[in-house]
Structure 1
Amino acid sequence: MAADPTAASPAAPVATRLSFVDRFLAVWILLAMAAGLGLGRLVPGLGDALAKVTVTGVSLPIALGLLVMMYPVLAKVRYDRLDTVTRDRRLLFPSLVLNWILGPAVMFALAWLFLPDLPEYRTGLIIVGLARCIAMVIIWNDLACGDREAAAVLVALNSVFQVIAFSALGWFYLTVLPGWLGLGQTDLDISVWEIARSVLVFLGIPLVAGFLTRRLGERAKGRAWYETKLIPRIGPFALYGLLFTIVVLFALQGDAITSQPMDVARIAVPLLVYFAVMWAGSMALGKAVGLDYPRSTTLAFTAAGNNFELAIAVAIATFGASSGQALAGVVGPLIEVPVLIGLVYVALAARRYFPQPTAMTAEHAPAQEGSATRV
């Protein structure tokens, strides 16, 4: 989806600066969720059929949808500008603290606060909190006109830390800390290789494909052709992949979600609090440390988003596809998708309260004004 060249000025209401598709993006996503839930409920055995063939513990159709979704966004990244992000300590250090210290701790606290009597769902939520963003957050960041290069760096950084820290954090938050607090313990049997494999598939493949597309495309026909001709052609596939992934994801657990509405509601409450706290707190922190709007937005979405595909894969591999832990993992994106798409619009409306982009990010800021969805 390309920016609308006839867009109104930044001072106009957000909705008036969006194309028809962009303006009703939340509607398309909700319709995709409803379609998936309906298919999962109405077509006997569909969820089992979709789950039979897996990649790193995730249904093959979901894996394909994620790869199609991420490739166009990563093909848009200006890899020659990544050094301007890696030098920005105001962005990198807060991101590490938010993702690997505060995020898991906040989810652990909320899970025990809201689900003290439901250990399976509680464990599933803690696993969701440990699985930091590497995939769909790139879409939310792009929709909100965040810094695309910063998002690529932070997602890559999260991927490295995920491989190194996920197992250790799972052991700490499910076994050590509950034991210290006298809350009971849960074992999480997941190897570093399983996590690394998931990261390599869901981030590595589209990242390499995006880098090679830009490198070869610019070398063959120049940057102007690449930006004005190729990108508009491949850009819409990010939305197609997103909607397809949502349909398949919710079809897998449609029966469980629709047959246990009260359980879903219990799981949803701490998730809602988590997304609101992490996003708003991160956005405020970005402003407080002097980040401009694009990088504050990137900080907020990378801190609030979660790697639900890894969380679901871990829950299924450890506790089984029909477990409460797996259901909690699936409810994660059920809540995350509409909440974060809503926060995209909140972020766009809040742009006026942030400093103008710095010289490092101003180069691509004008292209962001026309549309929220540049994917």
Structure 2
Amino acid sequence: MDDTIDDPLDFNNEHLQSFDEHMRCPICKEFYNTAMILSTCSHSFCAMCIRKSLSQEQCCPKCRKTCHDSQLHNNFDLDNLVQTWKNNARKLVLDMQETEPESSAPLLPEQPASSTQRNSHYRPTSQKQPAAALLDDEDFMPMNEISTANRRSRRLVDTTAASENPELGTCPFCLQKMPLAVLNSHANRCVDGDSRIPETPPVHKTNSSLGLGKKKYLGKKPQKIAYDMYKEKDMKRLLKDLGLPDNGDRSLCVWRYREYMILYNANMDAKDPVDFTVLLKQLKQAEHFYVTSRSSSKRAMPDVSEHKEKYGDEFQMLIEKAKKRQKAKASSSAAAGGGGSDMPRSDAAAP
């Protein structure tokens, strides 16, 4: 398999294959890009995928339950999980699989642990060791307290490391380390439940820090309309108000308006929306593909004169054969009728 193409079958373990598959959109089969969850059935999809699907059919593509785009919500936790798995954890697991493909230990124990092992931190040791070396504080500490203590110690180590590095800070809500340049914006989002770490702005862009940077223009929001009530000139007026091209017939204008609405809403769902010029480029690419596919699907009408010139002789030959069969049939029927008139009638009276 090509290294540039990732697939759940990259893993030898079926549990890892299933986990990697759950990190992918059911529609495009790629890793979630701006995951959106439906409140009606709790299924998640990419923002662009589910909005295109709902524009054609008002139901969930997975369970076929009736839903609407107003019931879409950002799935921030799934986004964080996918980014962590895609950017870091997946490569580490694949590297471990390549180094130790056969000798690696199973992910799940074959036999369940005993009640003694579940309730306490049990360490089997030989009887030759001294008693003082066998016992410590953790031998009598329950497993839940040990795991809590370990998590607390790791959190303290991370906080200490962040405080030692002057360029890093720790969020007071989720205790994640991040650059100081994005700490304030992250804290504002973290209060609302979005624990994602924003991207660090490039160092060479100093205009934004000086307050001289240009604000990103995301374009005007398209409104939902009843397309059957709008004529061609009305559709062109709507496209012109949105800053979109207004060329083409009415069907093309309706398609362009619908496609831009999907692109705009999916862009607003993203954590870092792109500029309006990027949306225009995406719209032009989609329109080029749409026009090309529509023109190729239309069947060209054959030329009548060319068809007659090519198949005229064969058609004339079929006409002559049909005429001959018709003449032969007429002569046979006439002969049969004439022969029957010379025979005496059976019901004639005798002289």
Greater Cα radius of gyration, structure 1 or 2: 2
TM-score, normalised relative to structure 2 = 0.19
TM-score, normalised relative to structure 1 = 0.18
- The structure with the greater share of residues assigned to helix is 1
